[in-house]
Structure 1
Amino acid sequence: MAKAPGRAASAVRLFDAHCHLQDPRISAVAPSLIRAATDSGVARFAVNGTSEKDWHLVKQMGQEHPAVVPCFGLHPWWVPERSPDWMDSLRQFLSETPEAAVGESVMQIGLDKGSHGKTIDFGEQVEVFQRQLELAKELEKPVSVHCVRAFGDLLEILKRTGPFPSGVLLHSYLGSAEMVLGLANLGCYFSLSGFLTGMKSTKAKKMLKAIPLDRILLETDAPDALPKLDNVSLVTVPVDTSDADTEKCDIDSTSPAISSSNESLNHPSNIHIVLSYVASLLEMPEAELAELSYKNASKLFSYPGSKVHL
């Protein structure tokens, strides 16, 4: 079904609509990951900050790599750790980086009733989420939203606080097909990642068929969301979790299917695997889906071009 990414895949251009290349597990090798993915045809990377602790890293990455679209926000997992002046800090990063999107974590923004094993007050999450939505509307920035087990709450909040001048990206969308229309009518885009491979294929196909073609995006969510498919050669980033200083791991990130006895992380080149899988479910040529998703992402992120108001 899916093919291994490589230089032959550079005939298409792709926009990774959501990833975390500043993640401490891979930040030390991020430049080589970007080079390898760029060589395979990935033209843009929306790199999402998750908290005040990494916003400066995302900003720096955007300055050093023209292909990186820096995004800033407070992810729901890090809501309890925010400082009293986090909104002022966020506003400052956005004003100093005019091309930036408001990130999923903030805002990523997001809502998460799973909370990654943490106990995070959902009411507090909603408060932070709404404040970031309001900031996005004020600054006319798109928002990239992390949502886990809270799509009903999300839909109600978006209905109550919309419309949104520059669009809403639902990253790693795994919601139901039935919710797609209501979310699309509010200006939402739907980004698909390797997590989709964990959904039952019949359910995934039904959901994908419900998404308007002008609202489909592709992403890796690297270093997470490693696709789980049989008979597919992935590009992975091994991390020796027994080594406390994982940021200094020495790897050849351009070599496909690197194995590790500990942890293997997702490489941004694997967006080709996502492309192939989604195209197969949609029964669409990969090149057509690649170009369609690239144009959709460029429109949403206004990269390049003027903003499109929804």
Structure 2
Amino acid sequence: MMKLFDAHCHLQDPKIISKTQQLIKTAQDRGVVFFAVNGVCEQDWDSVKQLSETHPSVVPCFGLHPWYVAERSPNWFKTLKEYFDSTPSAAVGEIGVDKGSHGKKIDFSEQVEVLRQQLELAKELNKPASVHCVRAFGDLLELMKTIGPFPAGVILHSYLGSAEMVPEFSKLGAYFSFSGFLMSLKANKAKKMLKMVSSDRILLETDAPDALPKSNIDSLLFVEGDTSLVEELHRQRTTSSSTSDLSPADSPQVFTDASMLPKETLNHPANILNVLDYVASMLEITKEELAELSYQNAVRLFSYEGSKVLQK
């Protein structure tokens, strides 16, 4: 069986935390060996730590996500450092900058300052950092240049930046992690960008419970009890049965791929296989080749002192 490493996910998310044990087992049965679980705010760091203590496959990551910058406590950075002191197996993440619709609500200079502190900490601790970046790649690159390079690595998670910026980020120690969000790009743009990434810097992730791949529905796994999915499929069945006499042209739309599902539909961590399929097809290599190289890249990246990956 192929080995896979989910380089970025959020199994501590309140929407799925009660189901984590089963989600992990199902993904492991499909070849996922490790899950890098990223905290996003002071309130969820403890949940991430507990998950890592319960599950040998969970690599904990602690960080303050840009969306939560305005809510941080005066002692947030001291608390963050204490989590690293007490959890040697942890990496840094999720941190970053965001100028998207949500990020616009948070002062950008504060986002940059909070990111700077965390990137400097990652460098000091000699640990990789998982970075969120939306519509701010130029700003991120400039900041990384002032602090870097980063020998321990920086993960550009769910990378959707340009092909042209790949070499610049790579010089600073960046790795490029791809999730189901990649399928939202035009295929030719995705292909051009992927071809620019060196094979020793490619990672795969799910970002679960977000980033449901836009794959054929029959190929996806769904989170049991996902209310958005249950309601939508129930509506479809009800509509279908009440319109059975309609001509095909008037019949309601039948869901064949995930792009037709509600955007709130939860992503299962086992759907990393769909990301693998898509990225391998874009790169024109076999799934087995991509699984092997992305797994080895992640193992190398997460093999810092105290890491769980070293212990296995």
Q: TM-score, normalised by structure 1?
A: 0.86
- The residue matched to 2:266 in structure 1 has which SS? strand
AA matched with 2:41 = S
User: Aligned partners of 1:148 and 1:60: how far apart in 2?
Assistant: 29
- The residue matched to 2:131 in structure 1 has which SS? strand
User: Aligned partners of 2:285 and 2:218: how far apart in 1?
Assistant: 19
1:251 — aligned with what?
none
Contact 2:149 2:171 in 1 (8 A): no
User: Aligned partners of 1:168 and 1:295: how far apart in 2?
Assistant: 16
1:174 — aligned with what?
160
The answer for unaligned runs of 5 or more in structure 2 is 230-256
Displacement, 1:239? Answer: 2.5
1:189 — aligned with what?
175
AA matched with 2:15 = R
1:254 — aligned with what?
none
User: Aligned partners of 1:42 and 1:149: how far apart in 2?
Assistant: 31
Query: Using a 3 Å threshold, how does the CA distance of structure 1 residues 138 and 265 change in structure 2: closer, same or farther?
Result: same
For the aligned residue pairs, the C-alpha RMSD in angstroms reads: 2.2
Contact 1:214 1:296 in 2 (8 A): yes
2:34 to 26, 36, 44: 44
2:191 — aligned with what?
205
How is 1:225-236 mapped onto 2 (pairs within 5 angstroms)?
Answer: 225-230=211-216, 233-236=219-222
1:158 — aligned with what?
144
Query: Using a 3 Å threshold, how does the CA distance of structure 1 residues 305 and 117 change in structure 2: closer, same or farther?
Result: closer
1:218 — aligned with what?
204
- The residue matched to 1:83 in structure 2 has which SS? coil
1:77 to 44, 58, 67: 67
AA matched with 2:275 = V
- The residue matched to 1:172 in structure 2 has which SS? coil
User: Aligned partners of 1:142 and 1:261: how far apart in 2?
Assistant: 34
Contact 1:167 1:188 in 2 (8 A): yes
How is 1:65-144 mapped onto 2 (pairs within 5 angstroms)?
Answer: 65-104=55-94, 109-114=95-100, 116=102, 119-144=105-130
Query: Using a 3 Å threshold, how does the CA distance of structure 1 residues 136 and 278 change in structure 2: closer, same or farther?
Result: same
Identify, as 1 or 2, the structure richer in helix. 2
User: Aligned partners of 1:183 and 1:261: how far apart in 2?
Assistant: 34
2:301 — aligned with what?
300
- The residue matched to 2:285 in structure 1 has which SS? coil
Contact 1:77 1:115 in 2 (8 A): no
